[in-house]
Structure 1
């Protein structure tokens, strides 16, 4: 495999899909040497096959708003690779959704799911519909219209969507209700469901919890400990909530949150009361963080700025892709940051990652750090298939075990001669090689 030649061909076929091309290049560059040591992969053209989705569904979603006006959105499902199990990946409802973003997320999902040790392939989907400011009835009507188009292509052994940005418990409920009506069956076809109809305990917190478990192992491997560390996080949705909650519980101090309006610096650190307040604010369709500073004295709101200028030990981007760029990375490095862990998917720009690795700052990529969410979705699938429900302690114990397995795989494939752990290289090689071997064993299909 020659990465530059392959990327040139992809850029020719998919011009303008910057997020997708970025994700593909990041993986291929790190696995190129290992890939070329296995001639059977080149003989089966695994690289050329793995970078293209199996199929993409695009459809219009007409729905009626509360004023009786007809609205039309676009819907997508990218079924990327199912070599090791049913397609699995979230649905994102946000105005920024386009095919490039969904292809990047679906491509990342292949290897993230492979790392979990669970039998799940990679997929992603969503719509440019914006739930913000919509009534419950409008959200319900949109979800029902969306599922009317999607339901034929998904199933518990075929493709199992979940939530993502803009798709929480409310949306999953409406989507599942319509699927159940159309398919005339109760199955585990969606994850992130409510506890009254097949959901799993710990699922809402799992991405943030799993990220903190992974970070704790990063620190322990480096001879350090999480207790007493100061952490900057971005965002304040479910992912940031889970990360802040677990980090605080384990003795760290989370001093930032952020929104589209700017960020909050709270030197005292978030606690349960502050986290609950922000969740209530988010639930009211208010995604700004400025009110936090009025509510809690001692904190400061910085409009239009990002939290990566604060002096911290650990940075954990929890919001969206490419949120931490090269300049942010320079500020973090200058302020002595020791660890960076992506909790969002592809949260760091390539130049930021390069700087972290160059300066030997320990960097954990999203496909490893945030895999706890999809891992717990996989556990929900297992519970649904067996028609049982595990306790919170059982699910959390399995989540611990999975994150530990992912960390071990990163160490196995990412340890450099000088002892530095290149977690990006380790995660990419471990996930890629598992899927690649499976594709070779199953033939050209």
Structure 2
């Protein structure tokens, strides 16, 4: 049922299928095998044209999409991405991942994803506003607080969510929690911008504690991070707060390497500049980089340039760690890999990491432990769902309440992955750490499958 022109979706599908079939789930409970053919097909795919006017009063047209993949656990939930690479394969892969990621949060949200091939870089503020209004004219027919609640994703931040919400309110004459990532004065949640990055670090913190039996944490760890957007920025800040050293950040044009460690001040400068779509090559000319200089490498990702590292956090985009880069990270001593991006590692890279995990290790060469994005970057959608709850109650939680709930649920999510990986593992090396890939896929899949059986979407 996978189309040849959908390589990203096929990769995501095969990753889930292979881990489920490698477990003992279907041997112990064969009814779940029936769900596989059903869950891979979206409940609905909406594709539409977006016609809008640029600053020269010229007509432009883009493709708009919403993939409403699975509503077994609640309203469709997943981001909107504005990027020239957006196509159905990418949105189906993201929506498919979102089903199980959302299930792992323990909250009642289904999976979906959407966006457009519109490129906001180089566009004026008015052009972005006009595009958002044109995009929402069609999307508004298909979403609602009890139907489908989109959020932001690449190139869809607070500004774009504001314009999209304003358009929805105008078109539907309804003020409701139809989008998440809203402004704090009109329904947004505190800690939402930080949530994915913070949640990623909370998850890795549990990996470290579990692997070392509570003897280690982030203190003194060298952490390589890719990306320099929202997720990378807040992951870096949390790592610094917990005593780690961030040795890299990157964007589509190149990488910065910092032997001394990127500072919180430098991250603040990057955050402000990235809103204006500035490159790291431009940003590092700021005075904040004079006292703590960094090395810039054009056209490169960080993984083969960072030197010795303990933790690697891919936070840019899909397939940003290749098999060769995974081998370089292993050679550099990496022990923990967790994705802040969706499907950040290629299958070749995952095979390298999982092979290292399973290999017999001496005390001087501990195993590499890899965590997939559907588990490790679930903090963003988790707090989005908490924003939905606050909207329903017409209240706003404090930062401490939201952060506490995020931290607690990321720990629960990690423990669920450990539980399922242990319960259904067929691995012969019982001394190895549990597979977090298998555990996350199993935990999310079983929860969604059980709901689908209850609803009659599939039957034994």
2:453 is equivalent to residue 440 of structure 1: yes
2:418 is equivalent to residue 411 of structure 1: yes
The 5 A counterparts of 1:27-38 are 27-32=16-21, 33-38=24-29
What does residue 402 of structure 1 align with? Answer: 409
CA distance in 1, matches of 2:389, 2:279: 34
2:237 is aligned, of 220, 242, 245, to: 245
Instruction: State the shift of 1:39 in Å.
Output: 2.7
Contact 1:290–1:301 (CA<8 Å) still a contact in 2? no
Contact 1:264–1:293 (CA<8 Å) still a contact in 2? no
TM value normalised by structure 1: 0.95
2:279 is aligned, of 270, 282, 287, to: 287
CA distance in 1, matches of 2:286, 2:170: 46
Contact 1:53–1:81 (CA<8 Å) still a contact in 2? yes
Structure 1 residues 294 and 280 mapped into 2: Cα distance closer, same or farther (>3 Å)?
closer
Runs of 4+ in 1 over 3 A off after TM superposition: 287-291
What does residue 149 of structure 1 align with? Answer: 138
Contact 1:235–1:259 (CA<8 Å) still a contact in 2? yes
Secondary structure (helix, strand or coil) at the match of 2:189 reads coil
What does residue 222 of structure 2 align with? Answer: 230
Secondary structure (helix, strand or coil) at the match of 1:192 reads coil
2:376 is equivalent to residue 384 of structure 1: no
The 5 A counterparts of 1:93-242 are 93-223=82-212, 224-242=216-234
What does residue 9 of structure 2 align with? Answer: 20
Contact 2:224–2:311 (CA<8 Å) still a contact in 1? yes
What does residue 351 of structure 1 align with? Answer: 348
Contact 1:76–1:126 (CA<8 Å) still a contact in 2? yes
TM value normalised by structure 2: 0.92
Instruction: State the shift of 1:36 in Å.
Output: 4.1
- Structure 1: segments with no counterpart, 5+ residues: 1-9
CA distance in 1, matches of 2:161, 2:121: 16
What does residue 439 of structure 2 align with? Answer: 426
Instruction: State the shift of 1:348 in Å.
Output: 0.2
Instruction: State the shift of 1:397 in Å.
Output: 0.5
1:306 is aligned, of 301, 304, 308, to: 301
Instruction: State the shift of 1:413 in Å.
Output: 1.5
- Structure 2: segments with no counterpart, 5+ residues: 358-367
Higher helix share: 1
Aligned length: 432
1:340 is aligned, of 315, 337, 340, to: 337
What does residue 365 of structure 2 align with? Answer: none
Contact 1:264–1:290 (CA<8 Å) still a contact in 2? no
Contact 1:230–1:314 (CA<8 Å) still a contact in 2? yes
CA distance in 1, matches of 2:445, 2:231: 25
Deviations 1:46-88 (A, max 9, x none): 1111001001000000000011011000000000000011100
